[in-house]
Amino acid sequence: MSRDHCWLRQKFNEETVTYQLEQNDAIARTIKYEMNQLFSNTQHVGSDQDAKITFGIVTDEVLGDEGYTLSKTANGYRITAQTTKGLLYGLFGFHREIVAADANCGQTKHAKQGANNADSSASHTSNTDSVNSANTTSRADNTSTKSNTSPPNPQDILSEPITSIPDQSFRMINHWDNIDGSIERGYAGDSIFYKDNTFRRDFGIVRQYASLLASVGINAISINNVNVHRIETGLILEENLPEVKMIADIFSSYGIKTFLSVNFAAPKILGRTVTSDPLDSEVNAFWAEIADGIYRAIPDFGGFVVKADSEGEPGPFTYGRDHVDGANMYARALGKHGGIVIWRCFVYDCAQDWRNKSIDRAKAAYDNFIDLDGKFDENVILQIKLGPIDFQVREPITPLFGGLKKTNQIIEFQLTQEYTGHQKHVYYLPPVWKEVLDFDTATGNEEAAEETDDKTPVKDILKSNSVDQKLSGICAVGIVGMDNNWTGHKLAQANVYAYGRLAWDNNLTEAELADEWIDLSFTVAEDSKAKIAEILLTSRETLEDYSAPLGIGFMVRPNIHYGPDVDGYEYDKWGTYHYADRDGIGRDRTIATGTGYTRQYSEKICSYYDNIETCPDNLLLFFHHVPYTHVLKNGETLIQHIYNTHFEGLERVQGYIDVWKTLEGEVDDDAFQNVTDRLEEQFKSATDWRDQINTYFLRKSGIADNQNREIFA
């Protein structure tokens, strides 16, 4: 069966699309390949005058290595950049423009956004009325061919040149794939890279995946799990490098750097040393030799990703060393080759005593890394999760953003839905990412900020607080597997698309991203587009409503992290406690009476969260322990809000089912059945959430639902 071609499914049909491209490096050859995938009939010509599409290398420092400009010519269109990598991005950008023009009656994506940005944002608010009312190396198969449609005329699109330059330098995917073929926290089938403790060697799938990633601007990838097991520890050895190289060469031809996750204890595990102490000379010699061997085999190798001293993984703490000692050891080995070490900051005590309320997992990343600011080598990047806990449906930003001011840093998102429905539930992630990237950390001159509106949002401080802005940006835990549609849930493709596009352009709205993906992925009427968009844009609120309330998080079944289990982690070692009793619920993280976590933020943000009067209700239980009778800002008591939202969330899922049924015969059969099946499972799971959460809190509080709905007391 041919794999889903996702947002690259639309192939334009014209008698012949002529194009001119002088370059012939690996990426230029990829451009020629992709021309044949995006257009039905193409011909490479030697002259600009004979070409409808011309590709040109120019000198324009503003564009950098990845930016591009699209413009029209007398014969057609011109794509220019400083590098062939930029030209490749330009080709995919051009494809988006012509698809948008075709989908929107000749109006390009940029023109549509410019004219209707405010209306678009307003039309995709959290209003839920509409949802409540109702394996191949070619993309010749399973594509939508515009059989009677040529690319729009130059008069129709690109009336003004479009220049596009990425906002973030690092735009990365971290795979948690294991060599046995499994994927840690993977919900879309087995690994596309590995099978049965060896490499899968299906390079057609790898190439198609590289194409999808490059089309949205992804430029880096790590191909194995950060929890590096015994066999994967040997991926860095010479005998395995030819296999790694074959994968890396495919990604490189799409402008994507390949990284490997490494085991900190590798020197000892592989029998090369008796220790893995980062200050030991033999250990340093081991890593230098490993790096030399990798770069001989793969000259454009990216570097290492390291999870150390976290959740049982080995690290420098074993030897009385710190994160600087560990990270800089790798930096020295990689530095002479231009390589990079990405050091994860997900470090906390995973053997906590639940009886000790002074221990707060949320404080761990800041406490571990803030005093090390400015001590890491120039080719070290710290990878920091967006929130202080672990990818919950809602949590505040980690205070390391704004706290670290002299260290290269990238923010970590999660595409795979570990805690948010395993891709069995529809869950559109851009609202989460936008919320974080736009959050003002208030870590600049606070007095000046009050007078000049000079904010310090996360999307800016990632760059400004990094020593080298080229070593800053965004990464995300991967989502794809061997499922035919890559992501398990068809609608989860929107998250991969939107992640890449948002990492490139931080100012895109969640509504614009949804509209782009829908235009590229479906051929449906305008009202049907609106229905799909409404499902996506309300899905985060919906899942939040029927799961753990108001920022408290977790309440999931231990280990698998799917389905409700209110007390599943309450007396465990992982530090994710809700402290519900007969009187109230919440984690007190205030300065006066709690763990003092709020003190880690800037003064303004600390005051905002520490004060129950200003703390937003959607994070109330993350920061405060309150009685069930506490009145929220909307006038509801806490307990009534819990009851109401869990009934409403389930009702909204039923609304999604009703709306999706109306799309039968309009969306393709595979997509329709896939989403139908997943929505039915979501409804079943949301019912469990509603009943278990409401019953739990009725029994705890003894306070009845004021609407007398069925709760199982």
Interval 298-310: pLDDT, tens: 999 999 999 999 8
Architecture of domain 526-587+625-713: Alpha-Beta Complex (3.90)
Measured between alpha carbons, how far is 706 from 568 in angstroms, rounded to an integer?
28
Phi/psi-derived region of residue 559, left when phi > 0, alpha when psi is between -120 and 50, beta in every other case: left
Measured between alpha carbons, how far is 91 from 407 in angstroms, rounded to an integer?
34
Which fold does the domain 6-164 belong to in CATH? Chitobiase; domain 2 (3.30.379)
pLDDT in tens, 395-440: 999 999 999 999 999 999 999 999 999 999 999 999 999 999 999 9
Which pLDDT band, with edges at 50, 70 and 90, does 343 fall under?
Answer: very high
What pLDDT is recorded for position 138?
44
Measured between alpha carbons, how far is 351 from 97 in angstroms, rounded to an integer?
52
Q: Could you give the 3-state DSSP secondary structure of residue 620?
A: helix
Helical packing angle, 493-504 and 203-215, nearest 10°: 50
pLDDT in tens, 645-685: 999 999 999 999 999 999 999 999 999 999 999 999 999 99
Q: Could you give the 3-state DSSP secondary structure of residue 445?
A: coil
What pLDDT is recorded for position 113?
54
Region 561-585: what's the mean pLDDT?
A: 95
Tell me the residue type at 416. T
pLDDT at 174 over 60: yes
pLDDT in tens, 552-572: 999 999 999 999 999 999 999
Phi/psi-derived region of residue 551, left when phi > 0, alpha when psi is between -120 and 50, beta in every other case: left
Tell me the residue type at 576. T
Percent of the chain with pLDDT over 70: 91
Kindly list the catalytic residues. 311, 390, 418
Q: Where are the domains of the chain?
A: 6-164, 170-509, 526-587+625-713
Query: What CATH number labels 170-509?
Result: 3.20.20.80
